[in-house]
Structure 1
């Protein structure tokens, strides 16, 4: 069985080398939607695959880091990268071009790693990330599966090659979140999502 959780963020980028000149030569933005599809073949103690509320902590923080940020490809012109980091407080430096396709692979790597380092506490069984869909526009999206995320022909996405601006990490409830993930440190889910997130409906 699959479940789906939707996230949204606003982001600016330049996609070098693409066919459309407006996209490859000018900074522009999109209203992104990110769908996480989780898969399991048994239910937890609440007869769910995975409580949606549990995704409102570290996973949400990693995705929300891209909101009102500039996505910068580390292979871009150094002068451009320096200028963007100088004049924008929120930026994320990534090792691949910020196309929808690469965003889907990037989020797969981030979320899959975070989930793999999570110890379940409510009877969840064999929960894993099935795929990630990134909607760049109302009519276009890219979907990444596990084989795509780890496909060297599509470019390597190593977590140490990702850098979040200090202004982003300082706003996280756990400013050391990404460093702990890169070190492979494990975390334990709370028995109730209410222990870490707020809101009247944690399944929304």
Structure 2
């Protein structure tokens, strides 16, 4: 079974080397919608694939990092990058271009890492990230699957190559979240005391 959770953020970028001159040469923004799709072949004790409320923690913090931020490719012009960092408190340095396609891959990498490092405590059996869809406009979106993340022809994405500004990190519920994620530390879901015994 698949379940879907929707997130939103506003983000600015330049997509270098693309066909459109407007997109490749001018800072512009989009109202993004992100769909996180999880799958499982069994239910937890609440007869859910995964409680939607659990997605409001670290996963929401990481996706919200992109809100009211400027995202730039770390291979872009050094002067441009310096200006982004100087004039925006909220910025994200990426190892790939900030296109919708790459955003879907980046968010897949982030969410997948959180889920893999989470200790489930409510009978979740095989919950996994199935797909991430990033809507850049009302008419255009990119969808990422696991095979896309592991595809070196699309660019390597390693957690240590994504850099969030200090302002973004300070706004997380735990400012050490990303260091914990990069270091492979475990995140512990709450224990649930069942009201109905199976």
- Unmatched segments (≥5 aa) in structure 2: 193-198
In structure 1, what is the Cα distance between the partners aligned to 2:173 and 2:183?
18
1:85-138 Cα deviation digits (max 9, x unpaired): 001010011100000000000000000001000010100010000000000000
1:184-203 Cα deviation digits (max 9, x unpaired): 001110135xxxxxxxxxxx
Indicate whether 1:81 and 2:81 are aligned. Answer: yes
In structure 2, what is the Cα distance between the partners aligned to 1:125 and 1:180?
24
- Unmatched segments (≥5 aa) in structure 1: 193-204
Structure 2 match to 1:94: 94
In structure 2, what is the Cα distance between the partners aligned to 1:147 and 1:19?
26
In structure 1, what is the Cα distance between the partners aligned to 2:61 and 2:187?
15
Q: Give the structure-1-normalised TM-score.
A: 0.93
Matches of residues 1-204 of structure 1 in structure 2 within 5 Å? Answer: 1-191=1-191
Give the 3-state SS of the residue equivalent to 1:170 in structure 2.
Answer: helix
What stretches of structure 1 move > 4 A for 4+ residues in a row? none
Structure 2 match to 1:196: none
- Between the two proteins, the alignment pairs up a number of residues equal to 192
Structure 2 match to 1:201: none
Q: Give the structure-2-normalised TM-score.
A: 0.96
Q: Cα RMSD between the aligned structures?
A: 0.6
Give the 3-state SS of the residue equivalent to 2:109 in structure 1.
Answer: helix
Deviation at 1:150, TM superposition (A): 1.2
1:20-72 Cα deviation digits (max 9, x unpaired): 00000000000000000000000000000000000000000000000000001
In structure 2, what is the Cα distance between the partners aligned to 1:159 and 1:36?
19
1:165-197 Cα deviation digits (max 9, x unpaired): 0001011110000010000001110135xxxxx
